[in-house]
Amino acid sequence: MNERIEPAGWGPLPTEPVGSIPRTARLQHAVLQAEAGLLDPAELAAEQEEAVRDTLDRLAETGSPILSDGEQRRSSFATYPLGRGDAEAGAVFAVFADGHHRVMPRLVRAPFRFQRWAADDVTAARVLTDAPLKQAVVSPSMLSLMVPDEGIGEHSRDELLDDVVAGCAEDIARCFAAGAARVSIDFTEGRLALRRDLRAPWAGPEALGGFIELVNRVLDRVDPALRDRIGVHTCPGNDRDSAHSADVDYAELIPELLQIEAGYFLVQTASEKDPLRVSRLIGTELARRGSAGRPARVLIGVTDPRSPRLETAEQVRDRLVAAARFIPPELLGSTDDCGFSPYLVDDKPKHGSPDHARDVAFAKIAARVRGTALAAEELGGRA
């Protein structure tokens, strides 16, 4: 499937969330109780349903033109497809700037089949709102880190990677069938792959090419008519208000990232030391991509989920207007730098509590929506 289509139906300066919203302390506690067998599954489901309803309602109050369930039903952005008994604890995935780390599960059962779908969340949210919905899905490259080099039993690593690609492509197709307006692929491991860290043995520049190949294999299986509605999100991570690869130079990643045959990209920039440098890099690569007949849109991050400090609508406007010096306005949009809580259990130390972090997240989103509208007015006919 090599046919390319022009980005259509977006309008000037679109804006959308990345995915996750902080879960309340109550919901986090309920999940831990359920895992310990102290809470009935039906009671947990009711807590999750209420969290989704509240998330959709509060996102709508921000004026957001596209909503998300905030991943309230997920344990993490990376592991939701796994079933009980599919995996055991594996190697370190990432070491964050504050010193804490996350461990990547290791698959122990083959063949690999998705046991849960992101599309299930779309179906459940669709009952609660008529607004356009956006759904984030796991990247095949993230799942590939769970596949043992030696395979499992009679199933080789290549065969298991085929399973991963098939599952990811089916999840995207199911999301659209369930009523998603857009779907984005989480790709936080892209920047992390370029970090040289012996504590995360999988990482290294040679990993990035393989990651991009896997994502493109998934996209090759998707209906070309849907391609411009599929995004890829990259950032240096956000867990416990800390990042895992902010020290990696974007100049190494951006040219490679835009080799992915997605319709649009969501790129963290607000928390960068030099956001305009990132916009310049993006603009250069978009020009090359466009000259090859491969149009794409980039939504730049204009709010920083790791910081409790609120951005103003005017700051958001100014960031977008400045970025438009390098990124054509007709290919520009806005988002948040990262998901606000990619992992369910997240104590948010800089914010003081998950509940406060949740309030801050909605305030930041409201500023993003208002600021994007102001930028669209200022850019006028350029967008």
Q: Pseudo-torsion of CA 68, 70, 73, 77, nearest 10°?
A: 110
Please say if the pLDDT value at position 177 is more than 70. Answer: yes
Residue 192 lies in a domain: yes
* pLDDT score, position 298: 97
Average pLDDT over residues 104-123: 96
* pLDDT score, position 357: 97
* pLDDT score, position 204: 76
Q: Which two tokens stand for residue 338?
A: 């990262």
Residue 275 lies in a domain: yes
Residue 202 lies in a domain: yes
CA pair distance 271, 139, nearest whole angstrom: 23
- Write the CA distances from 258 to 86, 106, 248, 293, 331, integer angstroms: 33, 29, 17, 13, 14
Residues composing the chain: 383
Residue 349 lies in a domain: yes
Residue 62 lies in a domain: yes
Please say if the pLDDT value at position 57 is more than 80. Answer: yes
What is residue 227's DSSP assignment? Answer: G
Please say if the pLDDT value at position 5 is more than 90. Answer: no
* pLDDT score, position 4: 30
128-167 per-position pLDDT tens digit: 999 999 999 999 999 999 999 999 999 999 999 999 999 9
Question: Which has more pLDDT, 83 or 380?
Answer: 83
What DSSP assignment string belongs to 301-331?
A: E-S-TT--SPPPHHHHHHHHHHHTTTS-GGG
Average pLDDT over residues 111-131: 96
Please say if the pLDDT value at position 249 is more than 60. Answer: yes
* pLDDT score, position 198: 66
Confidence (pTM):
0.94
Average pLDDT over residues 343-361: 95
CA pair distance 383, 377, nearest whole angstrom: 9
* Single-letter amino acid, residue 217: R
Please say if the pLDDT value at position 334 is more than 80. Answer: yes
* pLDDT score, position 2: 31
CATH number, domain at 371? 3.20.20.210
Mean pLDDT of the chain: 93
Strand partners, 107: 87
187-209 per-position pLDDT tens digit: 999 999 998 776 777 877 788 99
Site of tokens 């043992």: 148
* pLDDT score, position 6: 35
Per cent of the chain over pLDDT 70 is 96
Number of domains in the chain: 1
What DSSP assignment string belongs to 85-144?
A: TSEEEEEEEEE-TTS-EEEEEEE-SSS---SS-HHHHHHHHHTT--S-BEEEE--HHHHH
Average pLDDT over residues 115-119: 96
Please say if the pLDDT value at position 9 is more than 90. Answer: no
What is residue 232's DSSP assignment? Answer: E
Q: Provide the domain limits for residue 266.
A: 25-382
* pLDDT score, position 3: 33
Residue 340 lies in a domain: yes
Residue 1 lies in a domain: no
* pLDDT score, position 381: 54
Average pLDDT over residues 222-248: 95
Residue 325 lies in a domain: yes
